[in-house]
Amino acid sequence: MTPSIRLAAARTLLAGQSGRATLAAELDRARRDFPDERDRGLLMELTAGTLRWRGAVDAVLAPFVSRPFGEIHEAVLTVLRIGTYELRHLTRMPAHAVVNEAVESVRALRQARAAGFVNAILRAVQRKRDVLTLPGRPSTTERKPWITYLSTSLSHPRWLVERYLDRAGTAGAEAWCRYNNAVPMVSVRVTADCSAEDQTTIEAELREAGAVASTVTPGAWRMPAGALATLVEPVRDRLAVQDEGSQLVAQRVGAVAGDRILDLCAAPGGKSAMLARAAGPTGMLVSCDTRPARLAVLKQTLARESVPARVVRIDATQPLPFGAVFDRVLLDAPCSGLGTIGRDPDVKWAREPDALPRFAATERAMLAQAAAAVAPGGRLVYATCSSEPEENADVVNAFLTDLPAFHRESADLETRPDRDGLDAFFAAVLVRRESA
């Protein structure tokens, strides 16, 4: 019997919300039950779309629900959100079938008593779909209507919207939210050196598949979602999927032939692969992470790209088992992930502003440990995939105050969706003084 895609979507979202697994890992597991690529695509659309537009979906549901959402069982609310998203955004299945699937899903999730409630709410949403309206784009620069529009119609937490407005203004904040809600492009790079003839062939195949060369990130190509699968296998085998921001961070390390490099928090391994190639056969790379599952992914990536590296399990918040011997140290620190909402839409609902100081405290501890491994004259690159200054410039400024043996080499790298059309990444290059 073919499993229900809507039920699988509900279970995936519930697992992600519970913290039992990351949304990406749970989605990957759920996809295995659906051999048909169309079904896999729908599963992805239902989960990611419901998360992207949860604020707008909740605004649509609210007039038909007589009690606070917090009083509705989590499984029931999740099914209602998926059903409402599908009724308003997708046309693959007739409305009555969407409602019926939702009712069966809530029963399968052991909430049979809520079946009538789910049926009634979704039928009401469908009946009123042509008259339900959300706040339109304000014609004023007044802050309050913009917060309402961005948080409701463009579906972002109010606290995050306020930060976007402070940083980017109304037009920038709107562009930022729209970027986060769009289906992301896929970024790839060629995995190995090749002849000019091979490079020309690969680039021609990429263009044929709809890819364009990035104007921001040297060597990166942007592909529409799903286009990678259309490439012939020999070309696919020469490509690695890696976010442009991640590629830019690796390039900021400035590795050259013969360098001794330490990559802390290295999984999934794309940056390590780039660093190993830059260091060449005369260099040395040590790639680290702390969790066994991430170490396994790291090893797989390095093996797939055929690059040599020593892989070590290390907790980077504790003193490192190295002296000050590395020419280059990269710390791409665990962070809030608020810069990658476009790829991980669950992040915007999982984070609260009071979590940022906790992330920053861990990042400062890691940065202090990483600094001890940098040789005199060596370079320490601190990076995050966060958009928030508490985790970025504030961490670096505090580090430089605490450790005057280091200085900033150049302006920090800060990509931003509204300005650069990229996820928000940050990187600071910190150099240890020769006499330190």
- Amino acid found at 250: A
Residue type at position 155: S
- CA-atom Rg of the chain in angstroms: 24
3-state secondary structure of 217: coil
Closest CA to 86 of 30, 43, 117, 39: 43
User: Among candidates 20, 8, 76, 17, which has minimal Cα distance to 45?
Assistant: 8
What backbone phi and psi angles, to 5 degrees, belong to 124? -65, -40
Residue 366 contacts residue 264 (beta carbons within 8 Å): yes
Strands 413-414 and 426-432: antiparallel
Using CB atoms within 10 Å of the CB of residue 68, give its burial: 0 to 12 exposed, 13 to 18 middle, 19+ buried. exposed
Q: Which long-range contacts (CB under 8 A, 24 or more apart) does 94-101 make?
A: 95/126, 98/6, 98/122, 99/123, 99/126, 101/4, 101/6, 101/7
The torsion angle over the Cα atoms of residues 16, 19, 24 and 27, rounded to 10 degrees, is: -40
Q: Which of 177, 288, 335, 385 is catalytic?
A: 385
Do 264 and 316 form a contact (C-beta atoms < 8 A)? yes
Report the DSSP pairing between strands 260-264 and 326-332. parallel
Rounded to an integer, what distance in angstroms lies between the CA atom of residue 224 and that of residue 210?
A: 7
Is 385 one of the annotated active-site residues of the chain? yes
> Would you please indicate which residues are annotated as catalytic (active-site) residues?
385
